[in-house]
């Protein structure tokens, strides 16, 4: 498995946020709504609603036995560790050991540092939805800015290889879903239309209503 697997599908799209603004076909969903100061605590209604929306969208895109590509960008570029040690944090979210999967690791340029030579390690792993403890993983991604012990600040992308769809939760505020063809995610636009981020709704409507 080589890095150009994703590039062949998405025409050299950098796997880095914000995906919605990097690709012409996509939807930006709002996960966190009705936030009040002090809602950053475990078990808050705000966070439970964030988790529910994120997991609902993930399960709508990926069925139990669908093959997907899990991509993780390790953003702590300054930590001197081997690839194996850097990505050890992924293993608790897997049914089997990381070494039991088809995995590749590489160093990729940091798109936010265009005028420098900065880069970061990236892991790609083929698996099925049933082989990932995705509920726990998605919750920790959503906890990014909460200051919890169980939180994940690395970028994680879920790619549906057959349907050519990418799902990315950036934090509790929202998530991006992009696709090669609008029809691949039209059902999300129709089924979860009231979850679409208002700020980008006009641009999203242009894709799915024209």
One pLDDT digit (tens) per residue for the chain, 210 residues = 445 668 778 987 989 899 999 999 999 999 998 877 776 778 789 999 999 999 999 999 999 999 999 999 987 655 555 666 778 889 999 999 998 998 988 888 776 555 445 778 899 999 999 999 999 999 999 998 777 767 788 899 999 999 999 999 999 999 999 999 999 999 999 999 999 999 999 999 999 997
User: What is the per-residue DSSP string for 87-140?
Assistant: TGGGGGGBSS-GGGSEEEEEEEE-TT-TTS--EEEEEEEEEEGGGB-HHHHHHH
Q: Is-contact 100 79, C-beta < 8 A?
A: no
pTM here?
Answer: 0.90
Quick one: which of 33, 34, 14 has its CA closest to 23? 14
């Amino acid at each position: 498995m080589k890095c150009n697997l994703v590039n062949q599908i998405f025409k050299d799209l950098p796997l880095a946020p914000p995906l919605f603004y990097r690709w012409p076909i996509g939807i930006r969903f709002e996960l966190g709504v009705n936030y009040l100061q002090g809602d950053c605590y475990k078990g808050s209604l705000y966070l439970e609603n964030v988790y529910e929306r994120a997991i609902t969208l993930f399960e709508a895109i990926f069925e139990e036995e669908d093959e997907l590509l899990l991509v993780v960008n390790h953003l702590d570029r300054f930590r001197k560790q081997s690839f194996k040690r850097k990505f050890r944090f992924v293993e608790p979210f897997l049914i089997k050991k990381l070494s039991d999967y088809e995995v590749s690791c590489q160093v990729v340029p940091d798109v936010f540092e265009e005028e420098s030579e900065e880069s970061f390690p990236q892991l790609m792993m083929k698996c099925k939805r049933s082989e990932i403890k995705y509920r726990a993983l998605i919750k920790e991604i959503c906890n990014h800015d909460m200051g919890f012990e169980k939180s994940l600040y690395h970028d994680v992308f879920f790619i549906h290889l057959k349907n050519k769809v990418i799902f990315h939760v950036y934090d509790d505020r929202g998530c991006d879903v992009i696709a090669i063809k609008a029809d691949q995610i039209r059902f999300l636009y129709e089924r979860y239309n009231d979850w679409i981020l208002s700020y980008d709704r006009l641009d999203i409507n242009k894709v799915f209503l024209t």
